[in-house]
Amino acid sequence: MIIDLPNTTISQVSKRIVAIREQGGVVALGRVLTLVIETNFKGLEAAIQAANEASREHPCRIIVLANDVSKSKKDARLDAQIRVGGDAGASEVIVLRAYGEAASDPESLVTGLLLPDAPVVAWWPNEAPGNASLSSIGRIATRRITDAAAQKDARAHFKNLAKTYQPGDSDFAWTRLTQIRTQLATMLDQPPFEKITGAEIVGASDSPSVDLLAAWLELKLQIKVKVTRTTRAKSINGVAKVKLTRKSGTVEIIRDNLDKAVLIQTGQPTREISMPRRSLRDCLSEDLRRLDADDLFGKVITRSFGSRVAPRKPATTTARK
């Protein structure tokens, strides 16, 4: 069910949600968090679809804020839409389209719609704010998610994130590496337990995950990683190949299609491993599984792309563990 509320106010939206619950039995019980999505009008539906799919694993209230500050003050307006039932996955979706002056204070628009006593996760599927933790929406969020692949300059984004990083910041470029990082860590935990003397990554020129994977390997292995870039057309996946060299031979993971990779180890038979390319839904679902800070991501970002040490996790976050 989709209910449109043109030229409305947050108070009217809140009252309508309560009325829908009373009339149709749609309740917020079981919702574990509030997901606030700040995007542009063009990326609105793609973000809602990913959030709806992720909500089946993480029931939540989804607030989508699409701003248009190009209008003059006299054109200030707030249009809202409430989606429940089959149109909202396992969540309830509130879409806010703010125009002109109505878009000048995003925090005030969403505060009255947050679930009480529930964590808030902020996601910017398109352009990221200059400082996520200090942005209007980021200030009220426990976890803040950006996507380097959606930025004009991914490396500049990483450098800025290194300067502004606070525990709770995350990026989909890191989340997309979970499977390959897990596979590499599993292989290195098996014999022979030899020091890695060389590492090489082959990846697409437009993949920011390649930079993060190289930074992670350099941090963990204390060696220089060689990075070879391919054109986007020649690389089905962002990371096309990872090769580690040790005394007894090499270990290679080659991704040559969308669903599988080939694992090649000296002295062992070649085998296929499942490594599908991750969708927005996959990345969002993983990031919503943990609301505490990702300390490893913080170390990789701040030590590889910045000059300062990663901030310590706040005592309140530690206490929640």
The tens digit of pLDDT for each residue in 304-319 reads 998 644 444 443 333 3
DSSP state of 174: H
Whether 155 and 236 share a structural domain: no
Digit-coded pLDDT (tens) for 245-293 = 999 999 999 988 778 999 999 989 999 999 988 999 999 999 999 899 9
Whether 28 and 159 share a structural domain: yes
Digit-coded pLDDT (tens) for 170-224 = 999 999 999 999 999 998 888 889 999 999 999 998 899 999 999 999 999 999 9
Whether 160 and 249 share a structural domain: no
- Identify the domain containing residue 189 by its residue range: 178-274
CA-based R_g, the chain, Å: 22
Residue 93 exposure: Cα atoms within 13 Å on the Cβ side: 30
Q: Residue 160: which of 297, 58, 301 has the closest Cα? A: 301
- Alpha helix stretches (DSSP H) within 6-43: 10-24
Please determine, for residue 7, whether its predicted confidence score (pLDDT) is greater than 50: yes
**Angstrom distance (rounded) from CA 47 to CA 172:** 13
Whether 67 and 7 share a structural domain: yes
SS3 at position 297: helix
Whether 147 and 114 share a structural domain: yes
Provide the percentage of residues in the chain whose pLDDT is more than 90: 70
Whether 153 and 195 share a structural domain: no
Judge whether 28 lies within some domain. Answer: yes
Identify the domain boundary among 124, 139, 171: 171
Q: How many domains does the chain have?
A: 2
**Angstrom distance (rounded) from CA 268 to CA 252:** 12
Are the beta carbons of 137 and 106 closer than 8 angstroms? yes
Whether 65 and 133 share a structural domain: yes
Are the beta carbons of 5 and 89 closer than 8 angstroms? no
Are the beta carbons of 103 and 69 closer than 8 angstroms? yes
Are the beta carbons of 89 and 284 closer than 8 angstroms? no
Burial group, residue 307, by CB count within 10 angstroms (0-12, 13-18, 19+): exposed
Are the beta carbons of 241 and 275 closer than 8 angstroms? no
Identify the domain boundary among 153, 171, 189: 171
- Higher-pLDDT residue of 71 and 48 is 48
Whether 125 and 215 share a structural domain: no
Whether 187 and 223 share a structural domain: yes
Whether 132 and 192 share a structural domain: no
Q: Reduced to 3 DSSP states, what percent helix, strand and coil does the chain have, rounded to the nearest 5? A: 40, 25, 35
Mean pLDDT of 102-115: 92
- pLDDT for position 128: 96
Digit-coded pLDDT (tens) for 87-101 = 777 788 999 999 888
